Amino acid sequence: MPVRAAGAESGAGAPGSPSEAMEELEHTCPQPRLTLTAPAPFADETSCQCQAPHEKLTIAQARLGTPVDRPVRVYADGIFDLFHAGHARALMQAKTLFPNSYLLVGVCSDDLTHKFKGFTVMNETERYEALRHCRYVDEVIRDAPWTLTPEFLEKHKIDFVAHDDIPYSSAGSDDVYKHIKEAGMFVPTQRTEGISTSDIITRIVRDYDVYARRNLQRGYTAKELNVSFISEKKYRFQNHVDKMKEKVKNVEEKSKEFVYKVEEKSHDLIQKWEEKSREFIGNFLELFGPDGAWKQMFQERSGRMLQAFSPRQSPNSSPTRGRSPSRSPSPPWVINKASPPSSPKAASASLSSMSEGDEDEK
């Protein structure tokens, strides 16, 4: 243990003088963890054996960062069963109460907890290990006392005790932290609403059937779960029913997905069909409508045909107008059936006469 004489450097003081007898001891208290690569140590492995006087601090002094030669030793205790975010948040508050603090966490044993509070889900070894792996914890004290005694506070050189400010009536006392509060060593923390060990246990008890079926599916036996033969068969049957429901649900989802895809494709097809229908109707109207190209073409062709079947009339000055109306010349292609030619010579003569008549008309 390093020891430094008060007047050794100046050489003052004679043998047997008060200045020679006074000695100033350096603090060798453990420092807060700087690395998180290893779990926090247990108190019996690195107990504080510092011989320097442990002066009493006020909360105001600790918040100003004094003393400068050692950290402020803060103690927080509890059961810490089913370690959760509420526990971690409380320890975070205890760790950050002062600029330089060393957080010691006391964990009560199974015997003490079962005696004063009740049965725990995790055993004491599991609860110790859970605390060691919390980043805010510098040291874990196993088998912590239910009520803090002056001897315990002195042994671990505790400056302040951090806990929520709800009075804990236990072990024959209305508040187990009453004497700590009276000594000015109590610093309150805030509870995290909506999360606690009791809440978690309540969820498990409320949904017991669900968790029992869950563990049966994972391979646990009915004996391990402490369920009867009938309950086991009921849970397994419910598991089969749930699997069937899940399969039906998957089929329904896939069917809905298929129907959705078909609907998308049908919408696309209907849209394309409508576009093609509009295009076809437009082309049809353009061709066969009231003012369509087909009507104009039909009118043009009808006019040509009418013109071809009914030629223009001859003008009034035509020589044919002077002829007798009683005799209308027959067209050259009409053959008189009443008097057919008696011989080829007669036929040729008639044809020549018809041609001469045409030339006269011209």
Q: For residue range 35-83, list pLDDT tens digits in order.
A: 788 899 998 887 666 666 778 889 999 998 878 788 999 999 999 999 9
Q: How far does CA 55 lie from the centroid of its chain?
A: 53
**In the predicted model, what is the mean pLDDT of residues 251-269?**
81
Q: What amino acid occupies position 143?
A: D
pLDDT beyond 80 at 11: no
Residue-wise pLDDT for 291-335, tens only, equals 667 667 777 777 777 777 766 665 555 555 545 455 555 555 454
Q: What's the pLDDT at 12?
A: 41
* Residue 94, pLDDT above cutoff 60: yes
Burial class (CB in 10 A: 0-12, 13-18, 19+), 166: exposed
- Pick the most confident of 3-17, 148-162, 222-236, 337-351: 148-162
User: CATH 3.40.50.620 in the chain, residues?
Assistant: 59-194
- Phi and psi at residue 192, to the nearest 5°: -95, 115
Spatial neighbors of 358 by CB under 8 A, at least 6 apart, are 332
DSSP labels, 152-183: HHHHTT--EEEEESS---BTTBS-TTHHHHHT
Contact 134, 36 (CB under 8 A): no
Residue 18's pLDDT is: 40
More confident residue, 355 or 221: 221
* Of 148, 193, 194, nearest in space to 168 by CA: 148
Q: What is the pLDDT of residue 332?
A: 52
Give 84-105 as a DSSP string: -HHHHHHHHHHHTSSSSEEEEE
pLDDT mean over 182-186: 94
Question: In the chain, what's the furthest Cα-to-Cα distance?
Answer: 190
Q: What are phi and psi of 233, to 5 degrees?
A: -65, -40
Q: DSSP letter for 291, please.
A: T
> What pLDDT is recorded for position 316?
59
Local confidence band at 352 (pLDDT 50, 70, 90 cut-offs): low
CA–CA distance, 152 with 185 (Å, rounded to integer)? 14
Q: What are the C-alpha distances in Å from 282 to residues 51, 268, 286, 288, 356?
A: 106, 21, 6, 10, 60
Average pLDDT, the chain: 79
Q: Is the pLDDT of residue 349 over 60?
A: no
**pTM score, two decimals?**
0.61
Q: Does domain 59-194 have CATH number 3.40.50.620?
A: yes
Pair type for strands 23-25 and 160-164: unpaired
| pLDDT score of 266 more than 50 | yes
Predicted confidence (pLDDT) per residue in 129-161, tens digit:
999 999 999 999 999 999 999 999 999 999 999
16 has pLDDT over 60:
no
Q: What is the DSSP letter of 27?
A: P
